Amino acid sequence: MKRSHEEHAARFDEKAADYDDDATPEYRACVSLVVDHADPDPDDVVVDLGCGTGAVGLRLATDADRVVGRDISEGMMEQARRKAAERGLDNVTVEEGTFREPNYDGPADVVVSNFAMHHLADEEKRAALEVIAGMEPRRFVLGDVMFFGEPDPEAPFYSPAVDDPATVGVLADALTAAGFSLTAVEMVHEQVGVLVAERAP
Ligand SMILES: C[S@@+](CC[C@H](N)C(=O)[O-])C[C@H]1O[C@@H](n2cnc3c(N)ncnc32)[C@H](O)[C@@H]1O
């Protein structure tokens, strides 16, 4: 990780109020694909790691029994809670938690994460995927900055000073090592994609 949790949290605290106005078409496509692939059942608990302002989690809350959001930025979480209240979604809880220590030990049928895991170094991503596998979801859907080809530090989807995206190959290997089967790969852009991973119950 190129920045500490505190530094990432402070960066997102600053952006939180305007975060939703700043979405690229690729980001929006990624959100939609993560929502579509998550496809929770009505009695499912969905856990959204790095939930931010709730772009994915709040959309899933109408289909699932409950959505549990975790993030490190109080500013982003405040926005998610405000939006949930405005939409009358009383089945959403958003609290502090990290990929490595989600601060949640309840059931998790579907875990999602969008545009957040690229803040972790590859070794930390592997450890985070082990933690996610330990939550025993039947499905994990990851939307993120990821390299289908050569990394391009000039590309607009990540900032090399603070972000650390992985190649699709590294993510696929790490998901498999954590006990998932990769069942779908969606390329949104050569540096943005969605991976769907399933676990035998
Ligand atoms: C680019 S935003 C994406 C937010 C949301 N998932 C979305 O799709 O709009 C990245 C989020 O990840 C959070 N984050 C960064 N590092 C994290 C970590 N180690 N654990 C949990 N959340 C983290 C940030 O605070 C931020 O809210």
How much is the pLDDT for 1?
A: 62
Over the chain (201 residues), what is each successive 10-residue block's mean pLDDT? 81 94 94 98 98 98 98 98 98 98 97 97 97 98 95 78 92 98 97 94 64
How much is the pLDDT for 109?
A: 98
Burial class for 201, CB neighbours closer than 10 Å (0-12, 13-18, 19+) = exposed
CATH for 5-198, options being 3.20.20.140, 3.20.20.100, 3.40.640.10, 3.40.50.150: 3.40.50.150
- pTM value is 0.97
Angle at the Cα of 109 from the Cα atoms of 105 and 111, rounded to 5 degrees: 80
Domain ranges in the chain are: 5-198
- The answer to whether the beta carbons of residues 2 and 120 sit under 8 Å apart is no
State if residue 116 touches ligand 1 by the CB under 6 angstroms criterion. Answer: yes
State the closest ligand 1 atom to the C-alpha of 34, by its place in the atom list counted from 1.
Answer: 8
Residue among 7, 8, 162 to mutate when testing ligand 1 (max atoms within 8 A of CB): 8
